[in-house]
Every structure is written in structure tokens, then in C-alpha cells.
Amino acid sequence: MNIVILDGHTANPGDLFWDAFNDLGKVTVYEHTPPSLTRQRALDADAVLTNKTIFTRDLLSSLPQLKYIGVLATGYNVVDIEAANERGITVTNIPAYSTASVAQLTFAHILNLTHHSCEHSKSVKEGKWSSSRDFCFWDFPLIELAGMTIGIIGAGRIGLAVAEIAIAFKMKVLAYDLKPPEQIPESLEFVSTEHLFNESDIISLHCPLTKENEKIINALSLKKMKASAFLINTSRGGLIDEPALAEALNDGIIAGAGLDVLTQEPPLADNPLLKARNCYITPHIAWASFAARTRLLRIAEENLRSFIDGNPVNMVNK
């Protein structure tokens, strides 16, 4: 089997190994593949692995040998699934590999917004503590999480993991999901979006991007939130109307935001959120801990091995 990894640097910038795939066939690893070279590099492949390299209908129609696409992520919108089905190409993804890591960064943003760790550390290094008359100082209100309400939009694995951490902080947890889980933890209260927006002190997004929820955070929904509320997004950038959020932050409609994803990545230099008030942005790293990426590569190898053995798992185009 001819196996081509098109953008290996994303999942493995050099601290992991592709060795397990060598047992499955001939492996070619490209660190990055621009759109202009995708067809050329995938032309003779029986199987390709991709993270962000896009497979359109036209591209798939020009790859007659391709039998398998392994998406090195949970989201698989980089592949035209309908076209893959028509051509009999199996597409798999990597579910649940980064749940703990994403939940962890979600709370890293929450804790930064409630204690302003970044600004306080910076002010100490600039000498403000050394010149302080008192033994301590703070430049921002310090907010305790206990007793606050967090609203979670999307009650899948990650949303529920975030809820568990919130409960450990003694927070009240509201949740909304188009398809709530069959077994709802007693500590969660499922509510309407209207109730969630009105009552939450923190809203955290953990849902896939669909036509139904695209820009669920918009000028109207932002105005429903408390002026003291924080917005967290470690899911997909397209869930947010970015100009509307920037305006809401700058005008004090809400108090702050912690974002790990944007609509366009890397962002354009004129993205209004880059200069918005009290908006902290990390470069899409919630999924990328060493432990999570180790699991990702292991599951990717297991997915491909199962396909070769005739028992595919984690298929997204059943």
C-alpha cells in the first residue's frame, strides 16, 4: 500500500514518530502541501492522511487510485464526504483524542480572564511589585468561580469534561445541545439558548460547526449576555461573528473573551479581534499537547490498519 502523509508537520513537528505506519506500506511524509501540489503528491496514493489539506470533489475525481483518507483530526470538513462516498473512498477521523487537553485550555482561558494572570505577571516584571508600598497589588477585579454559572453550548465529550471541571470549582452548569446525551448528569441543567445567554456568567462553545449554528454568537445573542460575562471558544471559529464580538468587547456589551480558534487561520492582520478589548487569543493549540498528539497518531495508525484488515473503524461516511 502506498501511504502519503500530506501535512505531517501539523500533528508531528518532530517530537513524535511515523514508524508504526511503515509496517502498513510504503510511507511518504510531506511536512506541508500547498493546494497546487496536492493532486501531484496524492496521485499514486492508495491512502492519504491529512489534517488541513482539502479534498474537494474535483480533486477526488482526479485520484482514481485513492481508497482511503485518514483525517488527522476530529473535524472532517476538509473532505467532500458526499464525493468520497460516490467514489467508494473510506474516510476516517480521530475522535476523543484531545478531550482532556481541550477542556484544560478552556479553563486556562477562564482562569486568565478571572485573575488576569498575563497582565499581573507582566506588571511584576516591569517593576510594579518591587516599587509597591504594600505586599501585594492587583490591577483588575479578582473573580472567584465558585457560585458562578457557566453555560456550555455543545454537550459532547469535551463539553461534559468542561462541565466536570466547572463542578469541581463549585460552579452551576447550564447546557444546550440540539441532541442532548441519553444520560444527562444530574449536575447539568439543560436549557434553551435564550436562558443560557441570559443567565450565564461564562459561555463556553464546544459544538461542531454546522449550517444550523454558524455564527451562533452574533450581535443579537451577545446583547442577551450579561455585561460581566466572558465568552470562551475552543471549538470552531465560524461559530462567532467576529466583527460583532469585537464591537461587543470594545463597547462593553460583554466583559471579555478567550479564543483558541478563529474563522480564518492564520488570521489576517486586520482581524478586529486582534485588537479588541480584553480579548485573549491562543493559536489553535487546545488539541496539541504532546499526550493528545501521541494518541492522535496511535489512533490514526489503528484506523488505517483496521481498514487494511477489512474492518474499518471511526468511519465518517458509513
How far apart, in whole angstroms, are the C-alpha atoms of residue 157 and residue 291? 17
Of the CA atoms within 13 Å of residue 297, those in its CB half-sphere come to: 22
- Rounded Cα distance between 3 and 28, Å, is 6
| Residue 277 grid coordinates | 478589548
284 is catalytic: yes
Measure the CA–CA gap between 151 and 195, rounded to whole angstroms: 9
| Sign of the dihedral through C-alpha 62, 63, 67, 68 | negative
The single residue of 157, 236, 293, 295 carrying the catalytic annotation is 236
The DSSP-derived string for 97-113 is: TTHHHHHHHHHHHHHHH
**Cis before residue 95, ω within 30 degrees of 0?**
no
Catalytic residue among 31, 86, 164, 265: 265
> Nearest-CA neighbor of 274 among 239, 248, 243?
243
Rounded (5°) CA angle 52-31-19: 105
CA distance 217 to 242: 9
The one-character DSSP state at 267 is: P
From 115, 195, 284, 305, active-site residue: 284
Residues noted as catalytic: 236, 265, 284
